[in-house]
A and B are shown apart, each in its own frame.
Chain A
Amino acid sequence: MIKVTINGKEIELEQPETILKAARKAGIKIPTLCHHDWLKMYGGCRLCLVEIEKMPRLQPACSFLVSDGMVVTTESEQISAVRRGVLEFILINHPLDCPFCDKAGECELQDAVYIYGPSSGRFKEQKIKHPENNTDPLLARNMERCIACTRCVRMCEDVQGAYAIAMTNRGDRTLMEPFSGNRFDCEYCGNCLTVCPVGSILSRPSKSSYRPWQMDANIATVCSYCGVGCLLNLQVRDESIKKVIPVEDAALRSSFERFGPGVAEKNTEKNLYENSVENRKSLNRGLLCALGRFGHEYVDSRERLTSPMVRKNGKLVETSWDEALDFVALKLNEIKNSSGGSALAGIASPRCTNEDNYIFQKFMRGVLGTNNIDSTARLGFAGAQAYLENLMGQGITANPISDLEDADVIFVVGGDPTIATPVLGLNIRAAAAKGAKIITLGRAAGLGRSKPKEITANLFTENKVLERLLALLFSKKEMTGELPAFEEKLKAAAAAPPAEKTTEVTGVTEAEMAEISEIVASAESFAVVIGSDIVQRAAGHCGLFCLAGISYLASGRIFLLSDRPNEQGLIDMGCLPDRLPGGQSLAIDGFRKKYEEISGLTAPPDKGLTLFPMLKAISEGEIKGLYVMGENPALNLPNWPAGDTRKSKIKSLELLVVQDIFPTETSAMADVVLPALSWAEREGTYTNLEHRIQVLRRAVKNMTYGRDDWRIIAEISSRMGTAMKFSSPADIMAEIVRVSPVHRDLRYPDIEKGTMLCRPYKGQPSKSQAGGVVHGEGFKDLIKTCDRPGGSLDDKKSMHRDFVLLLERSLFYSGVTSRKTPALSRIRPDAAVLRMHPEDAAPGLVEGGRVRVSSPSSEETLELETVFDSSVPRGAVKIPEYLEDLGVGALSLITNLPVDPVTKAPAFEECRVTVEAV
């Protein structure tokens, strides 16, 4: 126990801490500038100097540790004089352009000078000039205001791990610069902007558009981009989002209490400590990524859908809500009556709330009489989640993201977490910085600085690598008996003869496999991070089986990446063809009975179609009506049935209803288009990839005629004769918690309060899954399936121009909302390029030359510029998933991918394209 006295107050501490932290516990605030709670200790500015009894000189509180018996004074005449001196120095070259500075009012320098002075400086020299640099599309850099505290650099290096900026030059010329001195060309997380104490780094989209004290509201909500679900504060003025800041930052500012002589006593102990950052850790701990921070302009876009539209004489024309809704109700009734519910299908949305999705499936099942409900989560997340839960129990993927940081070995498979789920990626970088070993299988360039052990397997042979790793690990680890059924399968798998020629096929040596299995076996805290690439295989489930086994044997935790905000929620809400809300199997009568009893509607007993069979059924005319809520399948999905051309109506569909906030590739083909509300205009809940439910709050008024997704559906339902009487999302949640056992006891006010809930799960299969496990026969079967790679690479060699299409993902792209946000468009590389290995270039293909990309199954072609890149695997070409200039998605080329028999995810190794020089 350490006893210290600060300003006459006795404080007891368990461990030595900095004077700053100790003082805070006693409710005493000490001014700081270079210190920031999230960053490494620095001690550069000397503003925090305090007196320590028996020490000859003042010491910096932010970096000086207390020791037993220490007596500290934080405010005195002498201290004030020194602080004034420090500030006078800082102000020598500071422009003092507060009247024009965005930061004025929340500037730490301004606040400090306001308290300590000086009111004027004694330096007569000219101030050094650095005109504000606005060459970057997103970040303005005003280096006259910079106080060289290095907070931004420490953020970018130690926390963000991007190393994009540095302090350059020296002495009074020191300033912060990105490498180029102009454009940042970085990850654009804007986290440097969060920590800058002054107005040196500014967001250009919001620059000069408001003063901090002029905000109408500061609304805490959840990010609408990926499955991490970062907490954000939307700063709103005149019904428009001006700026997005992380929640912690807001907390920090509200706790920015007065310090200085005479005011210390006023800070109540409780206040200061509770508001302090250590005490207010949210999921994202104050960090954001480019999408979350800069991706909000779409809400104000002029391109938003403003009115319902109905196709008349082949053209979509604006109508009233009544006419549109009546039309939809009429048509749906017609199809249902003539062809039955199975002729109808619905695509739900991982961007819509839990409440929207609950109502969606209730409508599809109870009113339209169909279980044909699926979503783009089928591209990977949904199938993988279900399969892993089948094997290992419900909730097996419900692991707190923050735990990743404490893992000592992290196995990252099938994607780059720093792109799919940027802030989760930071947890992995943080773990690596603390000494964790990172192993990657599949390219994860964003983890490069974490010095991962990269397993570079030949294209599409990851499953073989995983199989081998599982076998090696099995021989090293004892089983715990925790999941007997799964252990049986693992045993069977291990008993199977080893796959032949593993090294030859995968290109990974036995020694490397042994080394990696040893790292995993000796892990104390192991985590497996699974991205969608490994799921999108003809035998994707085999890879998942191995990963589940590896995780189980090494007592790991599984993190399933999700690049949409509510994929988990959508699954929990039962927007699946075979499961009711709460993951309850449709096949079990008891569940269905209960569901029907509470929802007051009947659900058809037979499983519906998953996404890709659904699309096939549309092409074949078996499905006549499709309802799409908040999704753009024509762009985001392969295998989308073509109309005459992509932009016209799909001939085989009698009715296509699209509910969205923007006109999209899909809405262009629709018969009815219904405008919905954007994320900032509505309320509801999202469930993130760790199964945490968080509240979305309304921040701005809707300026269109759009309506809540759930309201639109409830309206149609009433018009079809089934009233849905809900008045708010909370109302819907009240029904959800009765229907879904995993949401039991969840009360809306609790979620709303911000008491963030991780659902109570135990790693045991719930009854619905018992016996539902897909692979009863053991691993031999798996191997057989795995041995059937999606077309061997050899056949390609004979047809020189045929390549496997790999999608290049961008940190700054995420569907239509990101496209309608100019800030993001400006930082996205817009080049329509195709990358290929230089040695793959057939005669006529030259670097910089133009090529035509086509696929045998599609009429679409793309014309792109060639770039040679030896990081692209032989036999493959890489194309950005969305081609800004051309306004098309690369997937629009692909029309007949097979699916994995278990997860029903598409087999992307079958994405074959032909590349010819133009």
Chain B
Amino acid sequence: MKKEVMQNDLDNKSLFSPVSLRKRYPTLQATLLPALYEAQKRFEWLSLEALEAVSKELDVPKATVRGVATFYSMYKKHPMGRHLIQLCTNISCMLFGAERLVDIIKKHYGVEAGKTSDDGRFSLVIMECIGACGTAPAMLVNTDFHENLTEENIIKILDEYK
């Protein structure tokens, strides 16, 4: 589900113009979240410049835009590596060994939680429950969802992201 919605918005490689989004939402305010995704795509991360662009497009005050952008952890508030790993370490995932996975990622790719690897390949963000408790541990890589992670398969999965 998630994947589908985001894919639609993000595949559009044209210039930043959330105008097209407007039709799908009842108010401009409601368009804010998808518009931020689109801005993130276009500006790579939500810099002040990107937030201002969203504010202008949607006519939502820029301070408010920033308030919303900083509230949600899935927006990039800093420049990130080529691929963003969002790994959950909340209760269910933790019970199934997510914290070991953090160590493994660090050892293999040289990226610490909250940081970006020196080669700029991966950034790792620790998440609080991404709604996949039943198939824990789970992570998002960019917009792809991966669940039932193990110490073995995680490397295989991540190796695909060059």
B61–A180 contact, CB under 8 A? no
Closest to B61 in A: A163
Q: How far is the CB of B103 from chain A (nearest CB, A)?
A: 24
| Interface residues in B56-114 (C-beta closer than 8 Å to A) | 61-64, 66-67, 70-71
Known contacts A163-B63, A165-B63, A178-B63; A170/B71 CB under 8 A: yes
> What distance in Å separates the Cβ of A518 from its nearest Cβ neighbour in chain B?
26
Sample 9 A-B pairs with CB under 8 A, ordered by A number. A163-B63, A165-B63, A166-B66, A168-B70, A168-B71, A170-B70, A180-B48, A181-B66, A449-B61
4 other A-B residue contacts (CB within 8 Å) besides A157-B61, A170-B71:
A166-B66, A166-B67, A168-B70, A168-B71
- Separation in Å of the B75 CB from the closest CB of chain A? 12
With both chains docked as a complex, state the minimum distance between the C-beta of A423 and any C-beta of chain B, in angstroms: 21
Cβ B66 vs Cβ A163 within 8 A: no
Which residues of the other chain, A, contact B67 by a CB distance below 8 angstroms?
A: 166-168, 177
Q: Are B64 and A177 in contact (CB under 8 A)?
A: no
List which A144-181 residues lie within 8 A (CB) of chain B. Answer: 157, 163-170, 177-181
Residues of A within 8 A of B66 (CB): 166, 168, 177, 179, 181
Complex Cα distance A157/B60, Å?
Answer: 12
Q: Which of A168, A169, A178, A179 has the most CB of B within 10 A?
A: A179
Report the Cα distance A179→B53, complex, angstroms.
Answer: 13
Q: Place the interface of chain A in its size category.
A: 10 to 19
User: Once bound together, how far apart are the Cα atoms of A181 and B62, in whole Å?
Assistant: 12
Distance in Å from the Cβ of B156 to the closest Cβ of chain A?
Answer: 34
Q: Taking CB as reference atom, which chain B residue is nearest A169?
A: B70
A157 to B51, CA, bound (A): 19
**Residues of A with C-beta under 8 A to B71:** 168-170
Best-surrounded residue of B63, B66, B67, B70 (most CB of chain A within 10 A): B63
Which residues of the other chain, B, contact A169 by a CB distance below 8 angstroms? 70-71
| Interface set of B (CB-CB < 8 Å, partner A) | 48, 51, 61-64, 66-67, 70-71
Q: Which residues of A contact B48 (CB under 8 A)?
A: 179-180
CA distance A177 to B67 in the complex (A): 8
**Could you say which residues of chain A place their CB within 8 Å of the CB of B63?**
163-166, 177-179
Could you tell me the distance between the alpha carbons of A177 and B70 in the complex, rounded to whole angstroms? 11
CB neighbours (8 Å) of A178 from chain B are 63
A167 CB, nearest partner CB in chain B, Å: 6
Report how far A180 CA is from B71 CA in the complex, Å.
16
Cβ distance B48 to chain A, nearest Cβ, rounded Å: 7
Shortest B52–chain A CB gap in Å is 8
- Smallest Cβ distance from A265 to chain B, in angstroms? 43
Within the assembled complex, what's the spacing in Å between the Cα atoms of A234 and B107?
63
The complex places the Cα of A167 from the Cα of B69 at a distance, in Å, of 11
Q: Is the CB of B70 within 8 A of A163?
A: no
Within 8 Å CB of B70, what residues of A? 168-170
Cβ distance A449 to chain B, nearest Cβ, rounded Å: 8
A673-708 CB mask vs B (1 if < 8 Å, else 0) is 000000000000000000000000000000000000
4 interchain residue pairs of minimum CB distance: A166-B67, A163-B61, A168-B70, A166-B63
Question: Measured between alpha carbons, how far is A417 from B48 in the docked complex, in Å?
Answer: 30
Which of chain A's residues have a CB closer than 8 A to the CB of B61? 157, 163-164, 166, 449
A178 CA / B61 CA spacing, docked (Å):
11
A454 to chain B, nearest CB (A): 14
CB closest chain-A residue, reference B62 = A179
Q: Is chain B's interface secondary structure helix, strand, loop, or mixed overall?
A: helix
Shortest CB-to-CB span from A612 to chain B, Å, is 43
Least Cβ distance of A676 to chain B in Å? 43
The CB with the most chain B CB atoms within 10 A, among A157, A163, A166, A167, is that of A166
| Partner pick for B64 among A163, A180, A181, CB 8 A cutoff | A163
Q: How far is the CB of A448 from chain B (nearest CB, A)?
A: 9
A170 to B62, CA, bound (A): 18
CA distance A157 to B63 in the complex (A): 10
| Chain A, residue nearest B128 (CB) | A171
| Measured CA separation A635–B46 after assembly (Å) | 46
A401 to B54, CA, bound (A): 36
Q: Which residues of A contact B62 (CB under 8 A)?
A: 179
A164 to B62, CA, bound (A): 8
Say how far B54's CB is from chain A's closest CB, in angstroms.
12
Closest-by-CB residue of B relative to A164 is: B63
Q: Which residues of B contact A165 (CB under 8 A)?
A: 63
Tell me the bound Cα distance from A177 to B63 in angstroms: 8
Bound CA–CA A170/B73 (angstroms): 9
Closest Cβ of chain A to B44, distance in Å, is 19
A163, closest chain B residue (CB): B61
- Which residue of A is nearest B64, CB measured? A166
CA distance A164 to B64 in the complex (A): 8
Q: Which of A164-203 contact B (CB under 8 A)?
A: 164-170, 177-181
Bound Cα distance A163, B60 (Å): 9
CB neighbours of A449 from chain B (8 A): 61
Bound-state Cα–Cα, A177 to B61, Å: 13
Please measure, in the bound complex, the distance between the C-alpha atom of A168 and the C-alpha atom of B46, giving whole angstroms. Answer: 14
Instruction: Report how far A888 CA is from B107 CA in the complex, Å.
Output: 65
Bound complex: CA A163 to CA B61 (Å): 6
- List residues of A (222-256) whose CB comes within 8 Å of B's CBs: none
Which residues from A are CB-within-8-Å of B51?
Answer: 179
Chain B residues lying within 8 Å of A166, measured Cβ to Cβ, are: 61, 63-64, 66-67
A170 proximity list for chain B (CB < 8 A) = 70-71
Interface centre among B48, B66, B67 (most CB of A within 10 A): B67
Q: How far is the CA of A169 from the CA of B71 in the complex (A)?
A: 4
Given the complex of chains A and B, what is the CA–CA distance between A64 and B48 in angstroms? 39
**B27–chain A nearest beta-carbon distance, Å:** 13
Alpha-carbon gap, A163 to B59, bound state (A): 12
Q: Smallest CB–CB gap between A806 and chain B, Å?
A: 25
Q: Which of chain A's residues has its CB closest to B52's CB?
A: A179
Residues 67-84 of chain A: 1 if any B CB is under 8 Å from the residue's CB, otherwise 0? 000000000000000000
> In the assembly, what is the distance between CA of A166 and CA of B70, in Å?
10
Q: Complex Cα distance A91/B14, Å?
A: 49
Interface flags, A727-769, vs B, CB<8A=1, else 0: 0000000000000000000000000000000000000000000
The distance in angstroms between the C-alpha atoms of A181 and B48, with both chains bound, is: 10
Query: Looking across the interface, which residue of chain A has its beta carbon closest to that of B51?
Result: A179
| A178 to B51 CA separation, bound complex (whole angstroms) | 13
B contact residues around A163 at 8 Å (CB): 61, 63-64
Distance from A201 Cβ to chain B, minimum over Cβ atoms (Å): 14
Q: In the complex, how many angstroms separate the beta carbon of A450 from the nearest chain B beta carbon?
A: 13
How many whole Å from A428's CB to the nearest CB in chain B?
18
Taking the nearest CB of chain B, how far is it from the CB of A41, in angstroms?
Answer: 19
Give the CA-CA distance A169 to B67 in the complex, in Å.
Answer: 7
Shortest distance between the CB of B101 and any CB in chain A (Å):
24
Nearest neighbor of A168 in chain B, beta-carbon distance? B70
> In whole angstroms, what is the CA distance A180 to B62 when docked?
9
Tell me the smallest distance from the CB of B64 to a CB of chain A, in Å. Answer: 5
**B69 CB to nearest chain A CB (Å):** 8
B50 to chain A, nearest CB (A): 12
Bound-complex Cα distance A478 to B62 (A): 46
Please name all residues of chain B whose beta carbon is closer than 8 Å to the beta carbon of A167 when the two chains form the complex.
67
With a CB–CB cut-off of 8 A, which chain B residues contact A157? 61, 64
Min CB–CB distance A173 → chain B (angstroms): 9
Of all chain B residues, the one with the shortest Cβ separation from A173 is B70
Q: Considering the chains assembled together, what is the distance between the CA atoms of A163 and B70 in angstroms?
A: 17
- Give min CB distance, A384 to chain B, whole Å: 34
Distance to closest chain B CB from A141 (angstroms): 13
Which A residues are CB-close (under 8 A) to B64? Answer: 157, 163, 166
Of all chain A residues, which has the CB nearest B73?
A170
As a 0/1 sequence over residues 880 to 903 of chain A, the CB contacts with chain B under 8 angstroms (1 = contact) are 000000000000000000000000
Closest to B71 in A: A170
In the complex, chain B residues whose CB is within 8 Å of the CB of A180: 48
Question: How far apart are the CA atoms of A807 and B113 in the complex, in Å?
Answer: 54
Chain A residue nearest to B66 (CB atoms) is A179
Residues of chain B within 8 A of A179, CB atoms compared = 48, 51, 62-63, 66
Alpha-carbon gap, A178 to B66, bound state (A): 9
Q: Which residue on B lies nearest to A449, using beta carbons?
A: B61
CB distance from B161 to the nearest CB of A (A): 29
B70 to chain A, nearest CB (A): 4
How many whole Å from B46's CB to the nearest CB in chain A? 12
